[in-house]
Amino acid sequence: MPFFYYFDPTYILVVIGLIISVWAQITVQSTFNKYSRVRVSRGITGADAARQVLSHGGVRDVAIKGIRGSMTDHYDPRDNSISLSETVCGASTAAAIGVAAHEAGHALQHAEGYGPIKLRMTIIPVCNFALSLAMPLFLLGILFSSLNPETSFGFLMMQAGIIAFSVAVFFQVVTLPVEFNASRRAMKALEATGYYTEEELDGARRVLRAAAMTYVAALAVSLLQILRLVILSNNRRR
């Protein structure tokens, strides 16, 4: 038989997803590198910017610490701390103040009891469990449908896998407003200080937009994956 007989057209969706992921990562890295060369005129570091955002929001009990690596910055609600990477914590650049301020924005969300972030924290265990089951269920469904094509058990298992994967993707849907809101809080606080030039604020804003696109890209890739699983399951049913 000719080779193309074995070609699975749904691989096109995988390729599209890969392109989206690579594009998002290249965009955020190149944007961060670009604005890491824009120095903050007042010498304000990323750690300083995080403190400014916290102060603007009336929050003063959050610890700020440095960690190794690049773009490993995060807020940890378990010990109410902000960890800033080596390229952010002590750096006086537009990129650094943007990233640090964003993480402080998450701290403000937790202090306020922001609804979407509370929902995200609540569903993490369920979504992780669903994700761990999704592909095993789907692959077992394919196996059963191949061994017993006359029964619908395999198809039902594939559907269960798709549902489980959809539950996990819901976490990404909830994440989007959380990330965008943290960036809005960050930029509002930075603008309110009056310490930054328009170029510095624009750099910080562009870095945050590029970072936000990685979450949008991740959701798009997951939706493409769901579409692929649906197509594969329907083809098995025929």
Domain span at residue 207? 8-237
pLDDT of residue 90 exceeding 90, the answer is: yes
Give me the residue label for tokens 């902000």.
Answer: 82
Is 200 one of the annotated active-site residues of the chain?
no
pLDDT of residue 1 exceeding 70, the answer is: no
Three-class DSSP category at 39: strand
pLDDT of residue 6 exceeding 70, the answer is: no
- Mean pLDDT across 33-56: 95
In a domain? residue 3: no
* Lowest-confidence region among 36-40, 144-148, 219-223: 144-148
pLDDT of residue 238 exceeding 70, the answer is: no
Residue among 86, 103, 179, 191 flagged as catalytic: 103
* Lowest-confidence region among 7-21, 153-167, 198-212: 7-21
In a domain? residue 2: no
Q: Can you tell me the distance from the alpha carbon of 53 to that of 193, in angstroms, rounded to the nearest whole number?
A: 9
Q: What's the whole-number average pLDDT of the chain? A: 91
In a domain? residue 73: yes
- Residue 54 host element (H or E): helix 46-56
In a domain? residue 141: yes
Sign of CA dihedral 137, 142, 146, 152: positive
Instruction: With 0.85 as the threshold, say if the pTM is over it.
Output: yes
In a domain? residue 51: yes
In a domain? residue 47: yes
Position 3 scores a pLDDT of 39
Position 5 scores a pLDDT of 43
- Mean pLDDT across 54-73: 93
148/226: higher pLDDT: 226
In a domain? residue 1: no
pLDDT band at 2 (very low <50, low <70, confident <90, very high): very low
In a domain? residue 42: yes
Asked if 131 and 181 count as a contact pair (C-beta separation under 8 A), the reply is no
* Domains held by the chain: number: 1
